Structure 1
């Protein structure tokens, strides 16, 4: 397999734009708009160019590249500190319990409350793999390489990390959750609101959204039954997140009702188990299957390979992985078991 992840460059805009057109909507981090993608890549370039180790509001864009032909076939993103440019809104699903002594009856009502609880967290998102490449574990490579990047640049990320999963989108490209909740106040279709948010941010939510909790019982059936559910194409991603230690704690996206998954950064499995070692050998023929990564910031690269951890903390890797990473004996490689 000759795929590797690397830092995105400004010239990657065309393959990113072509992939964005394949997302089917509800994918705010990868809008099918060249200007918005160009701004995202420019912001990412600024983040990669920052040599510091401070936690500030930044965004990193990575791309999956077929190293044999140089084709970009996937992408993912990391946001270091959400909610700094404008509020980071979520709905929090909670329960209000009330009791009447006269009726001897207890009633429990579910509420959706507009909150900014997750503000300041880091976020992993924007993961998209070209439909023709959805085999061979490339989605897992995209997802888990982000955690190696965080481990390698730990000071640049917050102590809490979240991942928003796209919610249920119907065959028309609409959102039952949006139609049943926010759409009633905005006079906009889900597609219009989703596109506006991707291009301009969600300050319009703060300006127009009612601040009072929404009683779930008052929503229509279609809206109620999709709260906290991922899009069918995101179920595998949700399982991967759960394996990494992320949990759904009742926070949902304000647009499509998809679940927000949360974890303590240092508890994420691929971060906690990441191993940093000096390359002792690049002729390993058999070994443990692993994700391997090297390089700081713009020089970051990751791929699949084989590793053998040595007693002295060094690591042996296979020659093909060494070639994809551009490393030799004496270089530093981070790794985690596949």
Structure 2
């Protein structure tokens, strides 16, 4: 049985291994024990708080194979992307240059450093064990977090977003960074992403240009990767895109990867998610796959199961219900997949 659940302190060693396996692509999951411990402690504290509006909270989930206790993936949520420090991105702008005398009117594509997305809730730290990429586990991490956010909407902003890694090779060379960021930072891409995941974001404001970058003046190799997602993140991109997240007008500042945004109330999962009671009994023939979320002793947990829906009831097998530790007529949230 595979379950999405909140992280706990005893997960530290296993998460550290996942962080090493994830590599530099997941900068919000750096392989630094001290930082991971802080991330776990912050999550535990956040879950324990009575929250009326989003703030500094961060919620960290792990994907667990309950039979073995093995961790297969991670996913986190920042209640506000830029609560204590601004969240920086590049915004795609159009700057108009016009001369009536010369009869010239030009619309120039430019990138502008900004912190517009600081008040968005942010999905982050997504990682899935390679053995699980072609299963329902990636969907469980992504949709399970969205279900938690919708069921606890007071904890989050009305606008949600996710930053996806851009194009970089196995040696850590990112074309956008080489032609833009390196000129201001003078360090390698992997190094700056590590700093981005472990240090105060003030260094971005201190070193990045505050004036618009005119895209036609940027090397064509860098232009070609703007807004493009790394092949290892295509699965995550598709899962979010299916739920209504779209690459709007923002890109990540180091590799120009896409930033997907969506209004909470327009997401399919928020429109179609049901609240009802769980029943354990034999299934009918016309079963479907359901994402099931519940509030248990460990906090909010979610799993995927075959079931039948009858009005406000979800039916799964009694054996599965007992395996998860649920009881007859317990309140659950569920979504047909």
Determine the structure 2 residue equivalent to 1:170. Answer: 169
Distance 2:173 2:201 in 1: 18
TM-score (norm 2): 0.94
2:109 corresponds to 1:113? no
Deviation at 1:137, TM superposition (A): 1.8
Number of aligned residues: 336
Larger deviation, residues 275-284 vs 74-83: 275-284
Give 4+ residue runs of structure 1 displaced > 4 Å after superposition.
none
Determine the structure 1 residue equivalent to 2:335. Answer: 336
2:306 corresponds to 1:303? no
Determine the structure 2 residue equivalent to 1:151. Answer: 150
Secondary structure at the aligned position of 1:118 is classed as helix
Distance 2:181 2:233 in 1: 23
Deviation at 1:152, TM superposition (A): 1.9
Deviation at 1:103, TM superposition (A): 4.3
Determine the structure 1 residue equivalent to 2:62. Answer: 63
Determine the structure 1 residue equivalent to 2:313. Answer: 314
Is contact 2:59–2:78 with CA below 8 Å preserved after alignment?
Answer: yes
Instruction: Give the root-mean-square deviation of aligned CA atoms.
Output: 1.7
Determine the structure 1 residue equivalent to 2:263. Answer: 264
Task: Call closer, same or farther: CA 1:103–1:303 in 2, change over 3 Å.
Answer: same
Is contact 2:280–2:321 with CA below 8 Å preserved after alignment?
Answer: no
Distance 2:110 2:15 in 1: 38
Deviation at 1:56, TM superposition (A): 2.0
Distance 1:318 1:165 in 2: 37
Deviation at 1:324, TM superposition (A): 4.6
Deviation at 1:147, TM superposition (A): 1.0
Task: Call closer, same or farther: CA 1:99–1:297 in 2, change over 3 Å.
Answer: farther
Deviation at 1:102, TM superposition (A): 4.5
Determine the structure 2 residue equivalent to 1:291. Answer: 291
Distance 2:240 2:314 in 1: 27
Secondary structure at the aligned position of 2:118 is classed as coil
1:181-330 pair list within 5 angstroms: 181-284=180-283, 286=285, 287-295=287-295, 298-311=298-311, 313-330=312-329
Deviation at 1:334, TM superposition (A): 0.7
Is contact 1:123–1:162 with CA below 8 Å preserved after alignment?
Answer: yes
Deviation at 1:97, TM superposition (A): 2.9
Deviation at 1:285, TM superposition (A): 5.1
1:130-149 pair list within 5 angstroms: 130-149=129-148
Distance 1:204 1:128 in 2: 26
Secondary structure at the aligned position of 2:13 is classed as helix
Secondary structure at the aligned position of 2:307 is classed as strand
Distance 1:44 1:96 in 2: 42
Is contact 2:3–2:66 with CA below 8 Å preserved after alignment?
Answer: yes
Secondary structure at the aligned position of 2:24 is classed as coil
TM-score (norm 1): 0.94
Question: Structure 2: any 5+ residue segments left out of the alignment?
Answer: none
Secondary structure at the aligned position of 1:68 is classed as coil
Is contact 1:65–1:72 with CA below 8 Å preserved after alignment?
Answer: yes
Determine the structure 2 residue equivalent to 1:25. Answer: 24
Distance 2:267 2:96 in 1: 34
Is contact 1:245–1:268 with CA below 8 Å preserved after alignment?
Answer: yes
Deviation at 1:308, TM superposition (A): 2.4
Is contact 2:51–2:154 with CA below 8 Å preserved after alignment?
Answer: no
Secondary structure at the aligned position of 1:15 is classed as helix
Deviation at 1:208, TM superposition (A): 2.0
Distance 1:320 1:134 in 2: 27
